[in-house]
């Protein structure tokens, strides 16, 4: 039986991939994004969800500019917390499922081991805090919910680290990249199948979903340069040298434990995903 899916944040990097994927799988899709749908208007969001009558809401909309959030905490809270709250209230009122995308930035990165789903969030930044608040709103308001944390997202639609390095490496002889922040880079398209798998199940709860393995941003940049064959040297630097407004977790690798236990598989290694992504023609 096909599902009626409401994708909030349908024009984003993950949203565009997921909408295509759902349609290929013959699911019915209703797409929401700015300017027509402003998720910070909670009442409009709830009324809209009642009108759509979805079986599942994929809530992907967020303000993901980490430094931007640090400079404007009230905007960050209205998008990342209020938006999630409105979606979860609408889901609860209509009795549909809700899948909320979250982030490794809900953790402080001080752990010496990979983060499990049951580990307590302790965000360092406004972005991380407002996403953790969104998680709490979803858990509190909507019993039929999945919270999915991912990290280092890149893909064809929207600005991302991989594309930035690919572009700069073609123009510069050397690039400085931080070597003391470690996570799992994740190809947006690789999330689509597991997100659909989750949404078709009644296995609610918190999930970590990333490509397998992990690396520093410096190692990721080095791999981009190696695969593309650019004549560019990547130089490792400390985070302190870059001096960004928002603090970042130094080790925020997510262990994909719950998904592996409940569905019996994990996403492919980040190196394989990256190689495939870079072999495709860039999307303008």
Residue with tokens 């490496």: 169
Which single residue is written with the structure tokens 């410096």? 218
Q: Label the pairing between strands 205-208 and 145-150.
A: parallel
Q: Look up tokens 């349908």; give the residue.
A: 10
Q: How far is CA 147 from the centre of its chain?
A: 11
What's the CA gap between 74 and 126, in Å, rounded?
Answer: 9
* Measured distance between the N- and C-terminal CA atoms of the chain, rounded to whole angstroms: 36
Q: How far is it, in rounded angstroms, from Cα 160 to Cα 185?
A: 11
Q: Is 214 designated active site?
A: no
Question: Helix, strand, or coil here: 252?
Answer: coil
Give the tokens for residue 27. 């699911």
- Residue 129 tokens read as 């805090």
As a whole number of angstroms, the distance between CA 162 and CA 186 comes to 10
Of 127, 154, 187, 214, which residue is the catalytic one? 127
Q: Could you tell me if 162 and 277 are in contact, meaning their C-beta atoms sit under 8 angstroms apart?
A: yes
Helix intervals (H) in 142-269: 161-169, 188-199, 217-228, 239-242, 257-263
Catalytic machinery residues: 127
């Amino acid at each position: 039986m096909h599902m009626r899916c409401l994708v909030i944040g349908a024009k984003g990097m993950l949203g565009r991939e997921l909408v295509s994927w759902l349609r290929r799988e013959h699911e019915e899709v209703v797409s929401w994004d700015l300017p027509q749908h402003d998720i910070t208007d909670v009442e409009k969001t709830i009324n809209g969800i009642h009108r759509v009558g979805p079986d599942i809401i994929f809530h992907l909309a967020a303000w993901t500019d980490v430094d931007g959030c640090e400079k404007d905490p009230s905007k960050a809270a209205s998008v990342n917390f209020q938006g999630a709250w409105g979606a979860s209230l609408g889901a609860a009122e209509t009795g549909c499922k809700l899948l909320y995308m979250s982030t490794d930035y809900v953790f402080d990165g001080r752990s010496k081991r990979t983060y499990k789903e049951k580990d307590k969030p302790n965000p360092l930044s406004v972005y991380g805090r407002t996403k953790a608040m969104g998680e709490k709103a979803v858990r509190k308001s909507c019993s039929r919910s999945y919270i999915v944390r991912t990290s280092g997202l890149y893909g064809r639609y929207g600005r991302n680290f991989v594309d930035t390095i690919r572009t700069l490496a073609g123009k510069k002889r050397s690039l400085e990249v931080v070597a003391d922040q470690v996570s799992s880079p994740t190809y947006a398209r690789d999330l689509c199948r597991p997100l659909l798998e989750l949404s078709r199940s009644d296995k609610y709860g918190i999930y970590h979903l990333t490509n397998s393995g992990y690396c520093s941003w410096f190692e990721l940049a080095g791999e981009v340069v190696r695969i593309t064959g650019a004549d560019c040297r990547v130089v490792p630097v400390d985070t302190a040298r870059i001096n960004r407004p928002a603090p970042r977790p130094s080790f925020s690798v997510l262990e994909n434990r719950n998904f592996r236990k409940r569905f019996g598989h994990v996403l492919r290694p980040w190196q394989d995903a990256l190689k495939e992504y870079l072999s495709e023609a860039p999307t303008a």
